[in-house]
Structure 1
Amino acid sequence: MSTSATQDIPAPVFRTATTLLADLKQDDTTAVGILARHLQHLDVVDPALNTVVLTDRPGATGSAHRADEERRRGVRRPLLGVPVTVKEHIAVTGLPATSGDPGRADLRPPDAPCVSRLREAGAVVVGKTNQSAHGRDWQTYNAVYGITNNPWDLTRTPGGSSGGGAAAVAAGIVPIDLGTDTAGSLRLPAAFCGVYAHRPTEGSVAGLRPAPARPLPLPRMTEVGPIARSADDLRMVLDVLAPAVPGTHREASNLRGLRVALLSPPRWFDMHPDVESAYHRLADVLASHVRALTWCTPDLPGGLTAQHDTFLAVLAAQGARLTPQEEREAFAAALSSSGDPRDDAWASGLFPTSGTRACWARHRHQLRLAWDDFFDTWDLLIAPVTSVVAFRHDPGKAADWFSTLDLGGRTGRYNDLFFPASLAALPGLPATVFPAGTSPEGLPVGLQVLARPGDDRLSIGFAGLLADLIGGYRPPPALEGGQGHRTPREPKRRMVCSARSTSRSKPSW
């Protein structure tokens, strides 16, 4: 992407949705104009990024025109005229939902409930963003759409599995993307790309499909949530997706009244010095701004490690039903010889029984009670999102369970990245990711803040207040007229769709 090209893009593409709505209210612009600027920006910067892999330009243009007409008639909707994208596997009428699997190319389900909520709120659905195949990696690439690059450094991953959405929001292509999070799929990409994201309280948001008739003792652990450039935008989308979040509806009007804990991770979870430094810098800044601050390890049944192990077992059990028994047996044998207790936990989920499921359900219930006790004492818990900043593309890591990460002179397990995800996923806690500065190499560092179930607006509000102390989102330097990045190999292809036709083209670099 050239410097001159990016300088031709109007600044409003980097504005938040909240600011765009204020511009619309003041008649400073139109929804059609906002959409046109964002599509122009997409055409300039996305060939080098490959974030938005499906677009419905006729549909989006029609939605923008209707938004302008509704505004002229005095109709009020919370997202009226705001461009948004959604993760590829979330159903959008007329567009494929392949999950990066070529065998699902003809699957075109109607709008998921979460997408219907966005449309009802007046959002302009531009298209879909790339993800890892079936959402099963912390990098974003697949056989249908190819690889997505991080706008801070094209040689690095934006994270996964909602990496296309995080990269698109960071690059100014859209102000809001809707993704999903099971094992950090919203949170890790937001941290790698320097943006905000929110994993909502379990079961509170209109999701991928109609809610089951009764809650299950063991959750699927997948929640739909927004990626954005500000905490205010997260709150606005949450109000659309979850207008009746259960709980206390607590707000964060200022930092002074908050009791904040910082997680002391288990010894086996190591962080790169760049992440650890940002974590401790935040603690130093917060010390004089909150009511109480401490480093702690929550008192959980079996400890943090036991919660993580149950999370791994449940996650393995979810995939076990899709894997032939002989493959699971071979994998279990390899895991048992590693000598790592985390591998034993995963192996225990490969052959689930009614007895093991009941054991996991009991442990989850005990964990939820323990977390409730913890949040009686502390309002919020800050924790890492990941052990590293964005690393260089290496699609082979997911295929090798025993692959590693460079932790700055030390070596860590790639699959230790499950640990930060497990903190919120198994007990069903809300978690908000916020930018926490940059590494010495200039790459974003993100952290997450967790709250009691139902206190989504408390964690989001806290993240917003932090922006005044440590800064929030800023555009990647290459998109502000700085030096361009080295370009890696070309993505495989991207798709541009409407409800009537489909065309395919390879992006130019």
Structure 2
Amino acid sequence: MSDLLDLDATAQLAALASKKVSSVELLKMALARHAETHARLNAVVTAEPERALERARAMDDARMRSDPTGPLGGLPMTVKDTFDVVGMPASSGLAHLRRRQAEDAVAVAHARHAGAVIWGKTNVPVMAADWQSANQLYGVTNNPWDQTRTPGGSSGGAAAALAAGVTALEIGSDIGGSLRVPAGFCGVFSHKPSWGMVTQRGHVPPHPGSYAERDLNVVGPMARSARDLRMLLSILEAGPLAPKAPPADLSEARIGLWLEDPNLPVIDPEVRTVLETLAKALEAAGATVELVASPVDTQTLLPTYLTLLGAVLSEDMPDKALRAMERARPLARWSLARGAGPLSWAHSSLAYTARHREWLAADAVRARLRHNIAPLFDRYTAILAPITPVPAFPHDARAFVRRRLKTSDGRALPYNSILAWIATATALHLPATAIPAGRTPGGLPVGAQLIGPRGGDGRTLSLAQAIDELIGGFVAPPR
């Protein structure tokens, strides 16, 4: 029976509907899997099993009476610890934030209304501000494929729990790759929606109780299959996306393969090989795949994105750190004038202390770039691109400026190179579906992102489902 946990959410829901398993039994299996893997992974960091068991019993009783139970009727699931949940307020890695009362975040409320049994919270970096999931409150989360490596961040606990079969669905968020990077590092699926599709209310950051819908940030689903992404997104957005729509016809798909860009970090040769192999499989399945040059002016895009991002994240920074960056602005301008790139400390210093007129200028550039890229999606169904230049990297607790990403051919990249390939979809408010693309010779998962036009979430999700079902998708890590 515990093998049910290895099925995707859709299959688990079918088992519940056919009474092959009860919600209580499925929840107890998930709790047992959590207990079995917790010391190794530290993915789920807080839980309320008694409240969840009460909810599961109520769902089982409703099913026995043939009452409606909703599209997630009785399914156990966890939620990223940046979302408020009744009884489990978002800590975002900070002790003082969990010592308060909280209502369900709107996305969580939608899942609960749909019948979900929410039993635990998954680990994140402090204020969701890293590509590793570690904090002093709950400790370090490990990658199920290699415990010496990170599962990514900031939805790292979520991705690790999904890969290990601890949960079948997760709600994550993404402002700097936080849905896509962990999905790629752990070999699962995620979807970064078009900006504004799913409300952020109840997500921390910003501060608890905020009504602000932060620029760039999105709330989206994570799962072990593309069909599950479509189902959960239809619930989170409470809109018209049809979860039962068929996958795309690959013979009609035209895919732009984006693997090189003069302004972005060169991807690891092992990552490139995995993506090229996927492209060949797509062609064998009937899709048209064409190499594309930069789909957007990345030389302009990167500094624009980082200015927009810095303006958002600066709200969460300590005043002391911001004052130091403010004092460094003259030196930062000097450094940029002498060739420092957009991924340098100099640009970060200017981005986090940007004046309002500087933000307005970046927003105007964003609008132009979004206009310029739109015709590309008349030619291509989606753009297939790497998520990160490297696969999951070893844990690194050093200061950001001292961290480096090592490639298989011996190069060292700046740590924030992770921002480079995710920037286009984030800055331009486009949808991007993360899919498992394969594994390196050393066995580490490699993810790819399918980028579509703004509002074209159904397009990238449908294509992801076709790839998942016809070519291959999630593979469980060895236990």
Contact 1:437 1:446 in 2 (8 A): yes
Match of 2:153 in 1: 160
Contact 2:63 2:69 in 1 (8 A): yes
RMSD over aligned Cα atoms: 2.5
1:265 to 260, 269, 278: 260
1:177 is paired with a residue whose SS is: strand
- Which one-letter code corresponds to 1:328 in the other structure? M
CA 215–87 in structure 1, closer or farther in 2 if over 3 Å, else same: closer
Match of 1:44 in 2: 36
Structure 1 window deviating more from structure 2 (71-80 vs 438-447): it is 71-80
- Which one-letter code corresponds to 2:137 in the other structure? V
Contact 1:430 1:453 in 2 (8 A): yes
Q: For the residues of structure 2 that align with 1:243 and 1:299, how far apart are their CA atoms? A: 32
1:297 to 275, 293, 298: 293
Structure 1 window deviating more from structure 2 (277-286 vs 315-324): it is 315-324
Contact 2:142 2:151 in 1 (8 A): yes
1:454 is paired with a residue whose SS is: coil
1:465 is paired with a residue whose SS is: helix
Aligned residues, how many?
Answer: 463
CA 58–448 in structure 1, closer or farther in 2 if over 3 Å, else same: same
1:261 is paired with a residue whose SS is: strand
Q: For the residues of structure 1 that align with 2:98 and 2:229, how far apart are their CA atoms? A: 31
TM normalised by structure 1 equals 0.86
Deviations 1:186-227 (A, max 9, x none): 1100111111111111101133349x99998xx521111111
Return the offset for 1:265. 3.3
2:306 to 308, 312, 316: 312
Correspondence 1:474 to 2:443: no
Contact 1:250 1:458 in 2 (8 A): no
Gaps of 5+ in 1: 1-8, 480-509
Return the offset for 1:329. 3.3
Deviations 1:34-86 (A, max 9, x none): 11111111111112111111101111111111111221232141101111111
Match of 1:33 in 2: 25
Return the offset for 1:110. 1.0
Q: For the residues of structure 2 that align with 1:388 and 1:174, how far apart are their CA atoms? A: 26
Structure 1 window deviating more from structure 2 (305-314 vs 163-172): it is 305-314
CA 105–77 in structure 1, closer or farther in 2 if over 3 Å, else same: closer
2:48 to 53, 56, 60: 56
Return the offset for 1:252. 4.0
2:252 is paired with a residue whose SS is: coil
Contact 1:177 1:227 in 2 (8 A): yes
1:109 is paired with a residue whose SS is: coil
Match of 1:385 in 2: 387
Correspondence 1:222 to 2:214: no
Contact 2:452 2:460 in 1 (8 A): yes
Contact 2:241 2:458 in 1 (8 A): no
Match of 2:15 in 1: 23
Match of 2:377 in 1: 375
Match of 2:459 in 1: 458
Return the offset for 1:235. 0.7
1:135-284 equivalent positions in 2, closer than 5 A = 135-209=128-202, 220-244=215-239, 252-267=247-262, 268-284=264-280
Return the offset for 1:243. 3.2
2:375 is paired with a residue whose SS is: helix
Q: For the residues of structure 2 that align with 1:21 and 1:65, how far apart are their CA atoms? A: 16
Match of 2:206 in 1: none
- Which one-letter code corresponds to 2:12 in the other structure? L
Match of 1:420 in 2: 421
Contact 1:140 1:163 in 2 (8 A): yes
Structure 1 window deviating more from structure 2 (333-342 vs 150-159): it is 333-342
- Which one-letter code corresponds to 1:297 in the other structure? A
1:18 is paired with a residue whose SS is: helix
Match of 2:396 in 1: 394
Q: For the residues of structure 1 that align with 2:442 and 2:287, how far apart are their CA atoms? A: 34
Deviations 1:451-501 (A, max 9, x none): 112221221221121124442112111x2xxxxxxxxxxxxxxxxxxxxxx
Q: For the residues of structure 1 that align with 2:245 and 2:118, how far apart are their CA atoms? A: 31
Return the offset for 1:376. 1.6
CA 252–372 in structure 1, closer or farther in 2 if over 3 Å, else same: farther
Contact 2:59 2:69 in 1 (8 A): no
- Which one-letter code corresponds to 2:193 in the other structure? P
1:224 is paired with a residue whose SS is: strand
- Which one-letter code corresponds to 2:122 in the other structure? T
Return the offset for 1:251. 6.5
- Which one-letter code corresponds to 1:117 in the other structure? H
- Which one-letter code corresponds to 1:150 in the other structure? N
2:365 is paired with a residue whose SS is: helix
- Which one-letter code corresponds to 1:405 in the other structure? L
CA 370–306 in structure 1, closer or farther in 2 if over 3 Å, else same: same
Q: For the residues of structure 1 that align with 2:439 and 2:55, how far apart are their CA atoms? A: 37
Q: For the residues of structure 2 that align with 1:356 and 1:72, how far apart are their CA atoms? A: 60
- Which one-letter code corresponds to 1:340 in the other structure? A
Structure 1 window deviating more from structure 2 (156-165 vs 318-327): it is 318-327
Return the offset for 1:254. 1.3
Q: For the residues of structure 1 that align with 2:154 and 2:334, how far apart are their CA atoms? A: 27
Return the offset for 1:297. 2.8
Contact 2:326 2:349 in 1 (8 A): no
- Which one-letter code corresponds to 2:371 in the other structure? L
1:256 is paired with a residue whose SS is: helix
Structure 1 window deviating more from structure 2 (250-259 vs 46-55): it is 250-259
2:143 is paired with a residue whose SS is: coil
CA 229–297 in structure 1, closer or farther in 2 if over 3 Å, else same: same
1:203 is paired with a residue whose SS is: coil
2:90 is paired with a residue whose SS is: coil
1:311 is paired with a residue whose SS is: helix
Contact 1:262 1:295 in 2 (8 A): yes
Q: For the residues of structure 2 that align with 1:334 and 1:148, how far apart are their CA atoms? A: 35
Q: For the residues of structure 2 that align with 1:250 and 1:23, how far apart are their CA atoms? A: 21
Return the offset for 1:298. 4.5
CA 363–116 in structure 1, closer or farther in 2 if over 3 Å, else same: same
Return the offset for 1:310. 0.6
CA 81–442 in structure 1, closer or farther in 2 if over 3 Å, else same: same
Structure 1 window deviating more from structure 2 (451-460 vs 168-177): it is 451-460
CA 27–326 in structure 1, closer or farther in 2 if over 3 Å, else same: closer
2:435 is paired with a residue whose SS is: strand
Return the offset for 1:125. 0.2
Q: For the residues of structure 2 that align with 1:76 and 1:94, how far apart are their CA atoms? A: 22
Q: For the residues of structure 1 that align with 2:245 and 2:475, how far apart are their CA atoms? A: 28
Q: For the residues of structure 1 that align with 2:340 and 2:411, how far apart are their CA atoms? A: 17
Return the offset for 1:402. 5.1
Match of 2:76 in 1: 83
